[in-house]
Amino acid sequence: MALVIWLAVGASLAHADGIELSALDLTRGDEGLLLGYTASVVLPHAVEDALQKGVPLHFVAEAEVLRSRWYWRDKRVARATRTWRITWQPLTRRYRVNFGSLSQSYDSLSDALWVVQRATRWKLAEAGDLDDGNGQYLEFSLRLDTSQLPRPLQISFGGQAEWALEVERRLAVPEAQPR
């Protein structure tokens, strides 16, 4: 009986709605500071239903490198942002993902979300912008940007938890390797 309950709880957690960050890594080299992440995005039913009815979804990944200071607020060293727009195209029955000026169509929602869920070698800062010592850290977030939704929809869902898709992490920047 305990095994059945354990399996039921595990299955429900495996399919939980929201954004989960499974990997976040920083690489520091001659090119500068590079970020890679892997996330899992599962849309709640209400969000997926809105997408199917023509409401575009905007996802934002933000990374900010800060230097700790004891005498004042932490100093921003670098900041980078990526934005994706996912829409449903009913005529072609495909999902379209826009990233900057690039656009791509996908057959399924999971394929369209795959683009948002992964990034490799995302350059955050030049090598010269970073200190050699420690005391620097990264603040990373991946979220559904509800401010980009149509205004009537923003008012109607007013604080419902299923629209609050966000994950945040803080990570220390690795020290520079001696040459």
Beta pairing partners, 78: 65
**Within a domain: residue 49?**
no
Of 171, 174, 162, 175, which is closest to residue 47 (Cα–Cα)?
162
Q: Evaluate if residue 5 carries a pLDDT over 50.
A: no
- Separation of alpha carbons 179 and 61, rounded Å: 32
pLDDT of residue 157: 62
**Within a domain: residue 8?**
no
**Within a domain: residue 76?**
yes
**Within a domain: residue 25?**
yes
> Residue range 122-143: average pLDDT?
88
- Separation of alpha carbons 55 and 49, rounded Å: 9
Structure pTM? 0.84
Comparison of pLDDT for 83 and 146, the residue scoring more: 83
**Within a domain: residue 71?**
yes
Quote the number of domains for the chain: 1
**Within a domain: residue 74?**
yes
pLDDT of residue 7: 37
> Residue range 38-59: average pLDDT?
94
pLDDT of residue 82: 96
Domain of residue 126, residue span: 19-41+57-86+119-172
